[in-house]
Amino acid sequence: MNCLKAAFSVFGGMILLSGCVDMPHPFGDPGPEGRRLALTTPPPRLAVPTPPDSLLDNTASAFWAREVATQLVDQALPAVAQPAKTGDWWLRLSATMQGNEVTPHYIVMMPNGEARGHWDAAPIPASVWAQGQKPVLTSLAAASAPQISAVLTGIQAAMMQADPHSLKRRPAKVYFKGVRGPG
């Protein structure tokens, strides 16, 4: 019985003290500065929709988009093979015929539809491209992913350079208090 009284008194004391402790509120209002910073967050994902103008059949086009997304994930980029949704950055895949060769194109698109960066892969013989074979598209995606990643890094660096509140634009502040030692 004494044990039960002790437990209740400890529990009662904890309830009384619970009003004195400031608990973190991770989903609370972050304040004006937090709201401003939230507007400049990077996109949560990069959508990679099936390209309508890839010079491939629908199955091969969808496979190319899935492979590009998979290879971008391997580059630590949050890419998803799906149509772009409102607010998404997305990657426009396409291909153009130039003589007997096809050149795959990659364009990084902003949520507002503006092209922000691009990269073209090395031309592929049109006869090989038209077959839409999985090993060719997988190899292309694997070779293109690091280049697409570099384009995205360049876009991020340019955005940071243009933002007056970015650490890239602010001068470093160093405080030196001095040195003390024996002597």
**Residues 23-63: pLDDT tens digits?**
666 667 777 877 766 665 555 688 999 999 999 999 999 99
- Name which of 86, 87, 84, 71 is nearest 140 in CA terms: 71
55 lies in some domain: yes
Q: Whole-number mean pLDDT of the chain?
A: 82
pLDDT band at 12 (very low <50, low <70, confident <90, very high): low
pLDDT in tens, 110-153: 888 889 888 899 999 999 999 999 999 999 999 999 998 888 88
Query: Does residue 112 belong to any structural domain of this protein?
Result: yes
Instruction: Tell me, yes or no, whether 145 lies in a domain.
Output: yes
Query: Domain count of the chain?
Result: 1
| Residue at 91 is within a domain | yes
72 falls in which pLDDT band (50, 70, 90)? very high
On whether residue 33 sits in a domain, the answer given is no
pLDDT higher than 80, residue 5: no
Domain containing 76 — which CATH number? Answer: 3.40.50
For residue 10, tell me if it sits in a domain. no
Supply the pLDDT for residue 123.
95
More reliable by pLDDT, 109 or 183: 109
pLDDT at 64 over 70: yes
Q: Residue 183 domain-assigned?
A: no
Range of the domain at 93: 46-162
